[in-house]
Amino acid sequence: MKKCLFPLIVLFNINTLAVECPSPKEVIDGSWKTIYQCNNGSLFSSYEIYMKTGARTGQKTYDELGRETSSDSWSTDGIYTYHSTHNYLENGNFVKSVYVIEDDKITNKIKEKAEYTGDPQDPTLVKDWVITQSSYRQQGIRHYHELEYKPYRIDVLNKQGEVTKYYEVTYNMKAPLANLVSEFKAYTPNGNLVGSYREDGEFSVAKQLKKFNLSKNEYERRLNVFNDKTREPVVIIDTGFDIMHPSLTHKLYNSPYDIVGDGVDNDGNGRVDDSWGWQRQDDAGLSLLRDDNNIRETHSLVHTPYPVSHGTHVAALALKDLDNYGLVGFAGDVAISDHLQMAGEYITDKNVKFVNMSFAIGFPGAPMSAPRDSFHFLEKIFVDNPETLFVVAAGNGRGSLDLDLKGNDNYPASYDYENMIKVGALNTSKLEKDKMDSYKPASFSKYGKTKVQIFAPGQGVVSAQSGGGTIPLNGTSMAAPFVTNIVLKAHQLNPSLSPLELKELLLKTAYIPKSGKLPCESGGIVNPDAFYKAVLKARDL
């Protein structure tokens, strides 16, 4: 035990005593010379020179305790490449921040930030900030236990850098390198539990509803909604769904062709208890080989700093304020060919009228795109279901956003079938009548006068988040279910109109901004009030 404690005592002394000026004050190492600068015998800075050219390539400053406070680097030809600072905390930890260099100058943009403990020469990571490398916005903070490389807690930050929610996560250790979260709890900044999530385990609609602390009347109302087998199915093909979320539990489809939980394939489609859909994953290497009726999300922290359920967000948007429809979710990897094939067969067999597709699988032969046979079965879904209306996200990107240009195809949005509504995203989270002329396509949204047909809110759109509560998300993936929701409400107003007739009216009533048409077929923005008015007028004829 004494041997283990001794180095800690030494480090403590080093960090609390001023560091004497090094001797010698100049050290040569190959082509570089380091020069130490001191004041009253104490080190306060050092710099490095490339001796072949005499160019300064590095510089560091130190505090009165000899601890590094800043570090700068230049290339051998004098280009400024690096600036970082060390801020020391009262608890002995320090925060290292790395800044963006632009035009040979330091900016106030931080591109890397982390807190450490222990010896500054060999520190232990305590937490790090998740920062976007496009806008340098701080999205989250990851907290680590000592000597563990996966965070146990993840904070969500708003634009002001304030914590709005945090998650405590449990990982799927069957795939330790994949950063798959199998379970988590969500809390307010004050530590109050918002909700929890488990990827698997027993599930019952009636039992889950009792967990929501509903009044007796509201509990019975929601249970009656679920038990209503006359509701129309709405298919959503997406990543997965938090069926335990208050906005979705009672909206799961209770199929008249199936008996929930009886362990029998009642409708003879080869699947047991698939009333509200199924999940397909096909990556055995990541322990993601799935083919079952559990449509709950498999959360990954590879592309997002905290657990985000794309499908939960989309489904809650599509079915918002609607109790006459039931969610059928095809969850998992949307690029698996037999997954698409079975989804298409289900849509045909069950005569599904409305489908939301907030996904893209690239285009045939492109890197990172789906296998070629997946495109065949994706296209077959549209061909085999000509009376079904498919609401499709136009897609997101940072460049080459015009889908009309050769080589910019992005499927399914690039297909040209009559039974599709392809939706681009606006730079707003909602529609306000007095601001309709100010809305523009979001900077990330794909567009095209022949490939995209209408625009809808898609920036900062608030909807359901896994584990409870809500979250704002950006994307044409949000714009599509916004339109799906409007179409479903219109269908309730006038069930006599076919899905394709609803599409025609939706495009005809699009709002054209005073500044001119937007880059899409209709030239405008989805206009719910005008659309509903046209739908009711058609009913009264």
Residue 14 has pLDDT above 60, yes or no: no
Query: By the 8 A CB rule, do 307 and 294 touch?
Result: no
At 169-196, the pLDDT tens digits run 999 877 777 788 989 999 999 999 988 8
Degrees, nearest 5: CA angle 82-83-88: 145
Mean pLDDT within 328-343: 92
CB atoms within 10 A of CB 285: 9
Amino acid 93: pLDDT? 95
Chain centroid to Cα 540, Å, comes to 43
Instruction: Please report the pLDDT score of residue 473 as a whole number.
Output: 94
* Interatomic CA distance for residues 429 and 70, integer angstroms: 41
Residue 331, pLDDT above cutoff 80: yes
| Positions marked active-site | 238, 310, 477
CA dihedral 510→515→520→521, nearest 10 degrees, is 60
Separation between Cα atoms, residue 318 and residue 341, nearest integer Å: 23
* Reported pTM: 0.86
| Lookup result for tokens 């005592």 | 9
pLDDT for 1? 34
| Tokens of residue 481, six digits | 């279910």
User: Average pLDDT in the 344-354 region?
Assistant: 96
| Residue 55 Cα distances to 36, 47, 195, 411, angstroms | 16, 11, 57, 52
Query: Alpha-carbon distance 250 to 325, whole Å?
Result: 10
The whole-number average pLDDT for the span 442-454 is 97
pLDDT at 284 over 50: no
